[in-house]
Structure 1
Amino acid sequence: MRHGSGSAFVVSVHDVASWSLEQSRHWVGELDARAVPATLLLVPGPWRGPGPAGDPALAGWVREAARRGHETALHGWTHQAVPGGPPARRLLNAVLARGCAEFCALDERSARTRLERGLTTLGSMGLAPCGFTPPGWLASRGTLAALRALGLEYTTSHLAVLDLRTATAHRMPALSHRPGGLGERAGARLLTAAVRRWSARGTPFRIALHPDDLARPGLRECALRAVDTALEAGARPYTYAELVRARRAEAGGRR
């Protein structure tokens, strides 16, 4: 399929781990059929089972996906919130992130320890991620400082993609489902409508796919319809790394 020169969009496959291998394969298969590169967000530590380094099937599949043009990115260490932090941050974790916002209140030292563990684990699998998406899209100032110190290229929030090398925030809202949550059906309709509107306007956006979405056929169909809508409107798919580097090159060319 030829991709047009309209708005940019990124499709991320979240929560890639041993327990979610079947779901991750399904999502990537659907994206391969559409020639859409994905950013695979790996949880490198133990979460609902062993980490990916101890799972040859998962490690082999991720490496093969990377060879086909999909990107591998770091997605926390255990994907579980750490006790402590300011009350406001604890509330955000409980309400918005459903208890997964591992990096929302960490100081720089604690964040760096977890990030280094994750990078080392993925490195042992032959993977060298250049980007980080915090679970729940929530990261503390300490986490941002640790990411810069470790030399990663980018991180993401719910509303933007941050180039850590240039300190440029590219506004790019993320659309995702909340299976079983209040407003699930209304949210699904909003996702498709937003993709159609933003694609037509040339507004950059992101579509986040989660393993739990596949438990509800309606959400699966809605997400894939949104991807198809973006492509039909001429939107161009990127991985996160491709997007950040393209924007950096464009900014350099304008100087």
Structure 2
Amino acid sequence: MKFPLPRPGDWPWVSLHDVCPATLDRTEALASRIEALGRRATLLVIPNAGWDTASLERLRALHGRGHDLAGHGWTHQAARWGGLAHRIHGWIISNRVAEHLAEDAAGRERIIRRCHTWFAENGLPEPSLYVPPAWAMGRIPAKRLRELPFRYYETLGGIYAPRHRGFTRLPLAGFEADRPWRAHTLRFSNAINRCLAGKTNRLRLAIHPWDLDGPLSADLLRLLSPAEAASARSSIS
């Protein structure tokens, strides 16, 4: 059994990352922009991020507008470095957000379970998808992963369904270029993944809250919709 993919006309598949009270204004503005294109997004929610009654109501409203919810870690911050491999990953990709890599397998399981429980505790629909921060899952034995509550897990390569041992490979384009060399690296990587997506346009777009203010904003707009290329930069402030 593979991940239920968007319909042919709904590609590229858009996910809005780092959804929390501090980024809700940005998330709502991006969601409105995506709705104007006749599409919906998957919202990657950080549970332990200071949610209160008002911010939870705003999240429920976004879901009510048709946007799916997904789990995205617990704090989205690594309290410590988990070793040399974690430090290298942080320098190249994740900075300090890859909280899974600071834990052993048992700690990673706790993060996933706490994340899943948070949705039910706050009266939100049960999400089927879990996306570890920076797509860095870390090692969890396959048997244990099958026992965890989410049905699907997103990685850099695609979507894994552990209970059915199914993997759906999907190219990914990202735009979070907080350093000049990362902009060059991402532009090269995105070009490769666009080629892999081919004529089907089965491409994932991973959008972070400030990407439309970054150096790859024009690239993002072109991929989001050809019509969007006419807009030089987002009106989001």
Normalised by the shorter chain, which TM-score bucket? 0.7 to 0.9
Deviation (angstroms), 1:44: 0.4
Output the CA distance in 1 between the equivalents of 2:148 and 2:227.
Answer: 35
Counterpart of 1:117?
114
Cross-structure match for 1:97: 94
SS at match of 2:156: coil
Is 1:59 paired with 2:56? yes
Q: 2:71 touches 2:129 (CA, 8 Å); kept in 1?
A: yes
Report the Cα distance in structure 2 between the residues aligned to 1:189 and 1:102, rounded to whole angstroms: 26
Give 1:107 shift.
2.6
| TM-score between both structures, scaled by the size of structure 1 | 0.74
Structure 2: runs of 5+ lacking an equivalent: 1-5, 229-237
**Under a length normalisation based on structure 2, what TM-score does the superposition of the two structures give?**
0.79
RMSD: 3.0
- How do 1:42-191 residues align onto structure 2 when only pairs under 5 Å count? 42-46=45-49, 50=50, 52=51, 54=52, 56-83=53-80, 85-127=82-124, 128-142=126-140, 146-183=144-181, 186=184, 190=188
The percentage of counterpart residues that share the same residue type is 28
Name the counterpart of 1:249. Answer: none
Q: What displacement does 1:204 show? A: 2.7
Q: Is the alpha carbon distance of 1:169 and 1:114 closer, same or farther for their aligned partners in structure 2, counting shifts above 3 Å?
A: same
Sort the Cα spacing of 1:166 and 1:113 in 2 relative to 1 into closer, same or farther, 3 A.
Answer: same
Q: 2:175–2:183: 8 Å Cα contact kept in structure 1?
A: no
Q: Which moved more, 1:12-21 or 1:125-134?
A: 125-134
SS in 1 for 2:179: coil
Quickly say closer, same or farther: Cα 1:82–1:221, change in 2 above 3 A. Answer: same
Give the SS at the match of 1:64: helix
CA distance in 2 between partners of 1:209 and 1:185 (Å): 14
- Which one has more relative contact order, counting CA pairs under 8 Å at least 6 apart? 1
Residue 211 (1) aligns with residue 209 (2): yes
**Deviation string, structure 1 residues 14-47 (Cα, Å, up to 9, x no partner):** 000111011111111111111222110000013x
Deviations 1:150-186 (A, max 9, x none): 2311111112211122122211122111333134554
Report the Cα offset of residue 143 of structure 1: 7.7
Task: Answer yes or no: is 1:14 the counterpart of 2:17.
Answer: yes
C-alpha contact 1:188 1:222 (8 A) present in aligned 2: no
Larger mean CA deviation between 151-160 and 59-68 belongs to: 59-68
Go from structure 1 to structure 2 and tell me whether the alpha carbon gap of 1:8 and 1:33 turns closer, same or farther (over 3 Å shift): closer
Letter in 2 for 1:225: R
> Could you tell me which of 19, 41, 44 is aligned with 1:41?
44
